[in-house]
Amino acid sequence: MTIRFDNKVAIVTGAGNGLGRAHALELAARGAKVVVNDLGGARDGSGQSSQASEEVVALIKANGGDAISHGANVANFDEVQDMVDTAVSRWGKVDILVNNAGILRDKSFSKMSLEDFKLVMDVHLMGSVNCTKAVWDLMREQNYGRIVMTTSSSGMYGNFGQSNYGAAKMALVGLMNTLVLEGAKHNIKVNALAPTAGTRMTEDLMPEQMVKILAPEAVTAGLITLCDEDAPNRTILCAGAGGYATANMFETEGIFLPIAEQTPEAVREQWAQLTNQEQQCALEAGVKQSEKFVMKAMAAL
């Protein structure tokens, strides 16, 4: 069945370029009213312009869709609140939030200034927190919400020179995990997208042919499934160049050591067993880890 967003209102942050632009165009093409947010700065976050987001709005309108642009800096809560208020006063609600805006300030950790670390955390992590906070109570009250965090393989697996970016991107997975639990009874689903695409963020990091293969539209096809009524929940969808996969966190079954044996030497001796992945599983909440260990200890009594 065709996925449609008629009568749905979506906010896409950082939608003036790259992935956000492709997301906004596709959501609008499928019937959503879209807030095309973009600060319009350079890749490193400097500067400001409304040109790119206005061009996306013009394109959506030319295709018969409905959209407005908003230049909020996602790192500034007041500006974000104004963006959400604008969407609500025009269309009455916000159903979908795609946290996509982002910048890079790459340097090896030894050379990275704390200022660059904080700025990247501010845009990716606090930017997503601010936007989510501004729509959260609306979504709870209307008993409907679809939120997407944009994470990255750099966070999940590391990438040289991206300690700031990787930390911020992985923090978004932590944010998702708790929001999934808190949003469940209000029909709010939260997922994460781990894209790989040829955009201005990555174009000088890869050969031209690779950039062409990594079209943003291929990622958007995955993103759309996370915005749908039938979206999954708590899924990290990895997408790029027509490839789609999920990334998952599992915990090994582990071992139990009685009190007298709870020494670093014993832990080291059991390393092969405690890292054995045969019975590993995903835990649906942090407390499940405590439960697992306490159950093992009780069973040994």
Ligand X SMILES: NC(=O)c1ccc[n+]([C@@H]2O[C@H](COP(=O)([O-])OP(=O)(O)OC[C@H]3O[C@@H](n4cnc5c(N)ncnc54)[C@H](O)[C@@H]3O)[C@@H](O)[C@H]2O)c1
Our CB check for ligand X shows the closer of 71 and 144 to be 71
Distances (CA, A) of 288 to 114, 229, 253, 254, 256: 35, 28, 12, 13, 16
145 counts as binding ligand X under rule CB under 6 A: no
Nearest distance, CB of residue 256 and ligand X, angstroms:
39
Nearest distance, CB of residue 295 and ligand X, angstroms:
38
73 counts as binding ligand X under rule CB under 6 A: yes
For the chain, helix, strand, coil in percent to 5 are 50, 15, 35
Nearest distance, CB of residue 40 and ligand X, angstroms:
5
222 counts as binding ligand X under rule CB under 6 A: no
Nearest distance, CB of residue 285 and ligand X, angstroms:
27
Q: Alpha carbon 46 to chain centroid distance?
A: 22
98 counts as binding ligand X under rule CB under 6 A: no
Q: Considering 144, 157, 165, 244, which one is annotated as catalytic?
A: 165
68 counts as binding ligand X under rule CB under 6 A: no
Place of tokens 């997408």: 239
Q: Residue 187: which of 229, 239, 135, 224 has the closest Cα?
A: 229
CA distance 23 to 271: 45
CA distance 259 to 262: 5
Residue 244 is among the residues annotated as catalytic for this protein: no
Count of positions (residues) in the chain = 301
CA distance 12 to 268: 48
16 counts as binding ligand X under rule CB under 6 A: yes
CA distance 111 to 286: 35
Amino acid (one-letter) located at 211: V
152 counts as binding ligand X under rule CB under 6 A: yes
127 counts as binding ligand X under rule CB under 6 A: yes
Nearest distance, CB of residue 24 and ligand X, angstroms:
11
Q: Per-residue x/- marks for ligand X, 167-206, CB under 6 A? A: ----------------------------xxx-xxxx----
Our CB check for ligand X shows the closer of 43 and 105 to be 43
Residue 147 pairs in a beta bridge with: 97, 190
Active site residues: 165
Residues in contact with ligand X by the rule CB under 6 A: 13-14, 16-20, 37-41, 43, 45, 52, 73-75, 100-103, 123, 127, 150, 152, 195-197, 199-202
